[in-house]
Amino acid sequence: MPASQPDAEPVLQVRDLRVEFPLRRQRKTLKAVNGVSFDVHRGETFGVIGESGSGKTTLGRTLVGLIAPNGGQLLQGGTDPATLSRRALREHRRDFQIMFQDPNAALNPRMRIIDSVMEPLEIGRQGDRTSNREAALQAMARVGLPPEFAQRYPHQLSGGQKQRVIIARTLTLKPRLIVCDEVVAALDVSIRGEVLNLFADLQREYGLTYVFITHDLSVVSHVSDRIAVMYLGCLMELGPADTLAEQPLHPYTQALLSAEPIALPLSMRRQAQIELKGEIPSPVDPPSGCAFRTRCLHATERCAAQRPAWEERRPGHWVACHHPLA
């Protein structure tokens, strides 16, 4: 991965971002994203790791404008999308794309591959059909899909090939940022590496920025420049991928790392297993103070009374914890 450029204007600036879902029957609100702050720099891969239900997908959808936040601020390339006219917003949104785990859900089974790849260009009413077709074929070639795939249907392709179709389709829009939400989770382990390498190649070639969301620490550790650790809608820790793995500051990060089996690089493996006590609490009734305190070995009264501040304890290494490990 290329070095990120922290001095350039961040692609995303996120401040105290909140997303809530009203649960009408229970007359409560579910805080799926509960006040998170971070920047994503141009050209980097920003990993987001967390257990299922921690709010990763909701965060990703919000970052690309599919969900409007309930609070806080989101700047995309320095622009607050809420200030744009409808027309300007349509243009602006093309720059911020998202891909999901299941390529089947994103592909119309009755459409030929070429038509699926061209679709975003046709919807955007860009260019004529011939030039769009040409652009689509080029994008397909770039992701390793030979031209004879153009006339096929999704059911004739493997999972990895379908995910390549989605990548090609996204590339035709020439986005600045792609949120990749569990994009290799559904793929056979044997082809994950290939697809991850393709993402890396495309990043170098097109200067892309990625937010790489996964519950799988071995995936995120291989591709990310920086990693953010999410728990119950909150960020627990954020830092350079190697420092975070070797010297985690948050007990939750430490527990995640210790739970990971052999797939991890040597530097990330821990001797001692630290077990996570109990279940993840419900985001409808999250614990007071620190969200993690009910499962934390280091928790004290203070952790129940007061939400820990989001602090930069080492350069570029942030943590929200009353009792950090260093």
Smallest distance, ligand ADP to C-beta of residue 149, A: 31
Are 249 and 325 within 8 A, CB to CB?
yes
Are 58 and 32 within 8 A, CB to CB?
yes
Please identify, using beta-carbon distances, which residue of 96 and 100 lies nearer to ligand ADP: 100
Q: DSSP letters along 209-266, please?
A: EEEEEES-HHHHHHH-SEEEEEETTEEEEEEEHHHHHHS--SHHHHHHHHH--TTS-G
How many residues bind to Mg ion according to rule CB under 5 A?
2
- d(CA 185, CA 134) in angstroms, rounded, equals 31
Please identify, using beta-carbon distances, which residue of 54 and 163 lies nearer to ligand ADP: 54
Smallest distance, ligand ADP to C-beta of residue 209, A: 20
- d(CA 231, CA 250) in angstroms, rounded, equals 11
Judged by CB under 6 A, the chain residues 250 through 289 that form the site for ligand ADP are 283
- The number of helices, as runs of H, and strands, as runs of E, in the chain is 11, 11
Question: Under the criterion CB under 6 A, does residue 161 sit at the interface with ligand ADP?
Answer: no
Are 290 and 307 within 8 A, CB to CB?
yes
Smallest distance, ligand ADP to C-beta of residue 31, A: 8
The answer to whether the Cα torsion of 94, 201, 165, 191 is positive or negative is negative
Judged by CB under 6 A, the chain residues 26 through 65 that form the site for ligand ADP are 30, 32, 50, 52-58
Of positions 57, 62, 209, 253, contacts Mg ion by CB under 5 A: 57
72: Cβ contacts below 8 Å, ≥ 6 apart: 14, 15, 16, 17, 18, 35, 36, 37
Smallest distance, ligand ADP to C-beta of residue 71, A: 16
Which among 53-61, 111-119, 151-159, 193-201 is the span making contact with Mg ion, rule CB under 5 A?
A: 53-61
Residue 253 contacts which entry, ligand ADP, Mg ion, none (Cβ below 5-8 A, type-dependent)? none
Residues that bind ligand ADP (CB under 6 A): 21, 30, 32, 50, 52-58, 283
Residues that bind Mg ion (CB under 5 A): 56-57
